[in-house]
Amino acid sequence: MTAIPGSLDATSMRTHLCGRIGQAEAGNAVRVCGWVAKRREHGEHLAFVDVRDHTGIVQCVIPGTVDVRSEYVIAVEGVVRPRPEGTVNPDLPTGEVEIGDCTVEILGIAEPPPFVVDDRVEVDESIRLKNRFVDLRRPRMQENLRLRAKVNASLRASMDRQGFVEVETPLLWAPTPEGAREFVVPSRLHHGSFYVLPQSPQLAKQLLMVAGFDRYFQIARCMRDEDLRADRQFEFSQLDVEASFVSQEDVLAFVSEAVLSAAEVATGERPDPIPHITWAEAIDRYGTDKPDLRFGMELVDLSAVFDGTEVKAFAAPCVKAMVIEGGADLGRSKLDKLTDRAKALGAKGLAWFRVTEGGGEGSTPGLDSPLDRFLSESERAGLLSATTAAVGDLVLVVADEYRLACTVLGQLRVDIGGRPVSEGPFRYLWVVDFPMFDGVDGDANPIAAHHPFTMPHPDDLDRLESDPASVRSQAYDLVLNGWELGSGSVRIHRGDIQSRVFAVLGISEEEAESRFGFLLGAFRFGAPPHAGFAVGIDRLVAVFAGEESIREVIAFPKTQSGSDPMTGAPKPLAAGLLAEVGLRPAPAKD
């Protein structure tokens, strides 16, 4: 049997893929290769073998018996024919046909698999990951990784269309203590010195801008030694982008084009243009910098309503509220749990008001709450007016410092109205104008909210030293259904501004030279204005694939504890190997 000229499915060992055999092939001799999905024998004269490859399953009919078992690797040769009347399987794309008069060649035998290669069977994740090579045969995993390949190809094609050059940056890099914890690699040639695995190609891509590659991209592998969760792994991939002589709007346009093109490939539909919102507006309306726009429940400011109030519970710098439509039927136990949740998030408490029918026909709605008797008529009317709550609704109120009141209600909003991130519709959002600094360190120095090379907002530069907490940055995030897909910023390319930012951060000239000297040195030879972004490919593909964990779109992920059940990593190294790189085994812990 020879390959079919021009057929992408054909090789020297097969003419067709299993899942692509249909009525059009009836009467043709074919040869398929794959794994045994199921074997059924009808006495001594007839056997049925379902053969599976990544495209699907086809039924093969063998005269006599055949000695194959589940997951044997076989080649089957025969003639395609319609299935007999009454035996058509509408659940299979190949269910109208079968391959008859087959001969079977065993290409590889297999032990019984640890679980059935079938998406309908639930398998414990630890067993799946220990036997990932079997798990990846399942249709769901095949589809996920092939979808990922399509998304990667689309992202590459989009960046190429937009004039970007793909450049690979090193995986062995110099330590730059900032951001997440880095993985360290001891040097065999330089005992006592270490490389690190890059958290991102941040500094390398800025150096490429200095080098004149004015539009760079890379599908980069990044490593961060941080706690794992559903949307985080030690190793992850990102579409890394940097461009020179551009503004923030240029970068947002480049990335939007790439992401929307990938979405079209993955879902069949191109999303609408991505809207923008400022960080301050996101916090004020949604209580988070990564809002999920698939549902409402926006926050409402009641500070003016309770200005000068005599109700101690509302005597705070900020009073924020949120309306749950139809929530008035929540029982007291559930309301108590919401209150406990608010306290666990840092609030002093949570006030609630059920909106009830008024005293008579045409009257204004009433409020049912332990605090209602303490409200004045103007406060009661103001609460109803500002929230536009209707009869049957529930109003939740937090009074505290502004940021805390917003974030507590923002988390309750997600707790109450949230849905799986992969559940449609897909709502993208750009969040811009992040704060330049977020909090202070132990020496009372401001902490960079993004990284120390982020350009301050030009309108706020004059307050950099006098009021750093009020300074906005030219940093921006891309959000999808409440997940942060990535972040980026306009970079500082001017030495005078960089020196001012370092000074505000409490970084001395000596420390700056020690940590970032190679970058600062390059900037002295002419750095163009530049800006960039990085899109988390694992997260993007997980949403497209309908998965809640990025582990389901990574071929060989780590467990939540950071281990690899398949290989047993991490493992101790022999003393001899440690000695080669200048290390000694640590003493055993008690």
Terminal Cα distance for the chain, rounded: 66
pTM: predicted TM-score of the whole model, two decimal places: 0.91
3-class DSSP assignment, residue 260: helix
Sign of CA dihedral 370, 376, 379, 384: positive
Domain with CATH 3.30.1360.30 in the chain: 295-418
Write the DSSP symbol of residue 229. Answer: B
DSSP H/E element including 523: helix 509-523
CATH number for the domain formed by residue range(s) 18-108: 2.40.50.140
Domain with CATH 2.40.50.140 in the chain: 18-108
Structure tokens at 522: 């390059």
Q: How many residues comprise the chain?
A: 590
CATH number for the domain formed by residue range(s) 142-277+429-553: 3.30.930.10
Structure tokens at 53: 């490859």
Structure tokens at 362: 């045409």
Q: Closest Cα partner for 259 from 270, 245, 244?
A: 270
Q: What is the pLDDT along the chain (590 residues), one digit of tens a residue?
A: 555 555 778 999 999 999 999 999 999 999 999 999 999 988 778 999 999 999 999 999 999 889 999 999 999 999 999 999 999 999 999 999 999 999 999 999 999 999 999 998 899 999 999 999 999 999 999 999 999 999 999 999 999 999 999 999 999 998 875 567 899 999 999 999 999 999 999 999 999 999 999 999 999 999 999 888 888 899 999 999 999 999 999 999 999 999 999 999 999 999 999 999 999 999 999 999 999 999 999 999 999 999 999 999 999 999 999 999 999 999 999 999 999 999 999 999 999 999 998 755 556 799 999 999 999 999 999 999 999 999 999 999 999 999 999 999 999 999 999 999 989 899 999 999 999 999 889 888 999 998 899 999 999 999 999 999 999 999 999 999 999 999 999 999 998 999 999 999 999 989 888 888 888 899 999 999 999 999 999 999 999 999 999 999 999 999 999 999 999 999 999 989 999 999 988 887 76
List b or e across 118-138, with b for residues whose CB sees 16 or more CB atoms inside 10 angstroms.
eeeeebebeebbbbbebbbbb
DSSP H/E element including 107: strand 97-108
Structure tokens at 501: 């930012």
Sign of CA dihedral 215, 220, 223, 224: positive
* Other CB atoms within 10 A of residue 9 CB: 17
List b or e across 142-155, with b for residues whose CB sees 16 or more CB atoms inside 10 angstroms.
bebbebbeebbebb
Bridge partner residues of 532 (DSSP): 242, 489
Tell me the C-alpha distance between 28 and 81, whole Å. 8
Bridge partner residues of 432 (DSSP): 278, 476
CATH number for the domain formed by residue range(s) 295-418: 3.30.1360.30
Q: Closest Cα partner for 72 from 42, 20, 100, 37?
A: 37
* Other CB atoms within 10 A of residue 161 CB: 11
Q: Which residue has the tokens 């950071």?
A: 562
Backbone angles phi, psi at 272, to 5 degrees: -65, 165
Domain with CATH 3.30.930.10 in the chain: 142-277+429-553
